[in-house]
Amino acid sequence: MVKRRVIRTVAAFEACKGVVVLLASLGFLSLIHKDMHELAVRLVEHTHLNPASKYPHIFIDAAGELQNSRLVLLAFGAAAYILVRFIEAYGLFNERAWAEALAAGSGAVYIPLEVLELFRDANWLGIALLVVNFAIVAIMIRALLLRRQAAATEKIKRGNRGPGFGRESGTGGNRGQITVLLKIMHRLG
């Protein structure tokens, strides 16, 4: 199996992503019923930016268009993301196969988007995110493959070749299945 420490490190990383989004969403929720346009203007002035220049002006206009219903929708989306990350972290910490599959799948979804973003604007942060995400997907796929290999090896050691076959099946070997097959063949022909 992939070392427990590596899987638990990934679990901690996923939990940290959930905590970051939780803190950000709490900040967004604190903005409900506030004058977003006024807050944006004050933020731009506080950072000593010119409100008439291009990007601060876009920011102020976008904040003015943000409505409470959109903030609530963003909060629900963030809550779903947080829940998935915490469930994933719990499953990874307890070495569950479903959590390894979830981590591999949820990480693999972002790889094409990160590659496209690097084609548009290559920077060190984008490269680092791609490398970390790719490493997590590779670790989870390796853990799943090793888990499957260990299960197959254990199955062979026990001599169990599937349900209803062999001495361990509790049906007296293949006799019961042969009888059923003969009855079906008799009815068909």
pLDDT at 138 over 80: yes
The pTM of the whole model exceeds 0.85: no
* 97 vs 78: CA distance, rounded Å: 25
Counted domains in the chain: 1
Quick: pLDDT tens for 54-103. Answer: 777 777 777 777 666 777 777 788 889 999 999 999 999 999 999 999 99
The reply to whether 142 falls in a domain is no
Percent helix, strand and coil across the chain, each to the nearest 5: 80, 0, 20
The reply to whether 162 falls in a domain is no
Distances in Å between the alpha carbon of 72 and those of 26, 76, 79, 161? 11, 6, 10, 53
Phi, psi values for residue 14, rounded to 5°? -65, -40
Q: Which residue range(s) make up the domain with 16?
A: 1-95
Q: How far is C-alpha 58 from the geometric centre of its chain's CA atoms? A: 32
The DSSP-derived string for 36-99 is HHHHHHHHHHHTT--TTSHHHHHHHHHHHH--HHHHHHHHHHHHHHHHHHHHHHHHHHTT-HHH
Average pLDDT over residues 33-46: 76
The reply to whether 184 falls in a domain is no
The reply to whether 53 falls in a domain is yes
The reply to whether 180 falls in a domain is no
pLDDT at 163 over 90: no
Quick: pLDDT tens for 9-25. Answer: 999 999 999 999 998 88
The reply to whether 15 falls in a domain is yes
* 57 vs 55: CA distance, rounded Å: 5
Number of Cβ within a 10 Å radius of residue 68: 12
Per-residue confidence band for 169, with pLDDT thresholds at 50, 70 and 90? very low
pLDDT at 43 over 50: yes
The reply to whether 10 falls in a domain is yes
pLDDT value for 10: 93
Instruction: Give 131 or 54, the one with higher predicted confidence.
Output: 131
